[in-house]
Amino acid sequence: MMKEIVEPLLQWYAENKRILPWRMDKEPFHVWVSEIMLQQTRIEAVMHYYARFMEALPDVQSLSSIDDDALLKLWEGLGYYSRARNLKKAAQIIIKDYRGMFPSTFEELRKLPGIGEYTAGAIASICFNEPVPAVDGNVLRVISRITGSCENVLLPVTKKKVTEQLLQIMPDSPGDFNEALMELGETVCLPNTAPACGECPLSGSCTAYREHLTELLPIRIKKTKRRRENLTVFILTAPDGSIALDKRKDPGLLSGMYQFPNIKGYYSEEELYLTLDNWNLNPVQIEFIRETKHVFTHIDWMMKGFRVQVNNKPERFIWVSPEELKSDYPLPAAFQKMLP
């Protein structure tokens, strides 16, 4: 059954694939950056970031030498900032150990920071025609529906099984085949909604379609429990209009990123003043801004924000102008929610 999906899928892809900037050539640097950006992010959201990134960093050499803060500013809004740091680390290894030439095999690509099996498979197949699968969430969903599999796609053993199935049917154009599977999952065989089975080239081979299981598959059973954390955030503003920042410590969530000063938990007004006093600040006025939520992979931040006018600028904080905050300091999306 699996073998019969190859030709109709490739034909459908040739006729329907979207024109995307990283598909204009098979340059490994372009494919690599796009694949890292597309982790946890939809294509429509990535387009702007990709164009901005490539304008600033057109090759491995420029990526390897960029200042960390400038890199994170370019990445601002995409989240998962460790991905950007790993891009730079990998670029430095490519310059040092590979003389600036991109590794051309799956096994060599896997050795680079931030490149897992999926990304290595995508680069190796698309750019170097190596017959290896690239199995992401889209591919797992498509294959689960085609085969009618009730196995939990969040388990490594399921991903391994799908990888082995795809290895057995890999055609002479592995890059197109992998991209076709991903494209089908992104545009037709959709998650969290009724898939467009009437537009699918594989509906005749699809067990889920035939047995009316499309809305039940794939099976996703999460074992991890989400944690909830309350956070009080301060927008500290000095008389000259500058705003206080500090840096999050390594390691940990958003490590090394700039943030507005904050404390864990919710507090009374008296306790807020006590915190400000401990920070050697002289508050003039405290004003509640808003209450909001930010969702990470395994934790939810429940955030209360306060704007505080102060008449001094202790050195424990980094004081920046609103213009500098916008242009020079990468601020995670969680804290951007506190801006006007």
Encode pLDDT of 146-157 as tens digits: 999 999 999 999
CATH 1.10.340.30 spans which residues of the chain?
Answer: 3-210
pLDDT score for 298: 86
**CA 340, CA 211: separation in Å to the nearest integer?**
51
Dig out the tokens for 103 from the structure: 């590794």
- The arithmetic mean of pLDDT across residues 5-30, rounded, is 96
Dig out the tokens for 269 from the structure: 């007004």
Is 3-210 a CATH 1.10.340.30 domain? yes
- The arithmetic mean of pLDDT across residues 263-289, rounded, is 94
pLDDT score for 252: 80
pLDDT score for 249: 84
- The arithmetic mean of pLDDT across residues 205-221, rounded, is 94
Comparing 224-228, 231-235, 283-287, 296-300, which segment has the lowest mean pLDDT? 224-228
CATH 3.90.79.10 spans which residues of the chain?
Answer: 228-336
230 pLDDT more than 70: yes
pLDDT score for 255: 84
Residue 122 exposure: Cα atoms within 13 Å on the Cβ side:
26
- The arithmetic mean of pLDDT across residues 228-237, rounded, is 97
- The arithmetic mean of pLDDT across residues 14-27, rounded, is 94
Average pLDDT score, the chain: 94
Catalytic residues, which ones? Answer: 35
pLDDT score for 42: 85
pLDDT score for 225: 77
What share of the chain has pLDDT > 90, as a percent?
88
Cα dist from 192 to 77, 152, 226, 279, whole Å: 24, 16, 20, 47
Please state which CATH class domain 228-336 belongs to.
Answer: alpha beta
pLDDT band at 223 (very low <50, low <70, confident <90, very high): confident
Nearby residues of 227 by Cβ (< 8 Å), 6 or more positions away? 298, 299, 300
Dig out the tokens for 252 from the structure: 């940990």
- The arithmetic mean of pLDDT across residues 57-71, rounded, is 97
**CA 85, CA 79: separation in Å to the nearest integer?**
12
Q: Would the CA dihedral through 232, 238, 241, 244 be positive or negative?
A: negative
pLDDT score for 214: 93
Tell me the per-residue pLDDT of 238-259, one tens digit each, with 9 for 90 and over: 999 999 999 988 778 888 889 9
pLDDT score for 251: 78
pLDDT score for 194: 83
What share of the chain has pLDDT > 70, as a percent?
99
> DSSP string covering 68-124, please?
HHHHHHHHTTS--THHHHHHHHHHHHHHHHSTTPPP-SHHHHHTSTT--HHHHHHHH
1 pLDDT more than 80: no
Paired with 285 in beta bridges are 309
The whole-model pTM stands at 0.82
- The arithmetic mean of pLDDT across residues 156-166, rounded, is 97
Exposed/middle/buried for residue 184 (C-beta within 10 Å: 0-12, 13-18, 19+) = buried
- The arithmetic mean of pLDDT across residues 197-218, rounded, is 95
pLDDT band at 224 (very low <50, low <70, confident <90, very high): low
Calculated CA dihedral for residues 326, 327, 330, 333, nearest 10 degrees: 30
Dig out the tokens for 332 from the structure: 């995670």
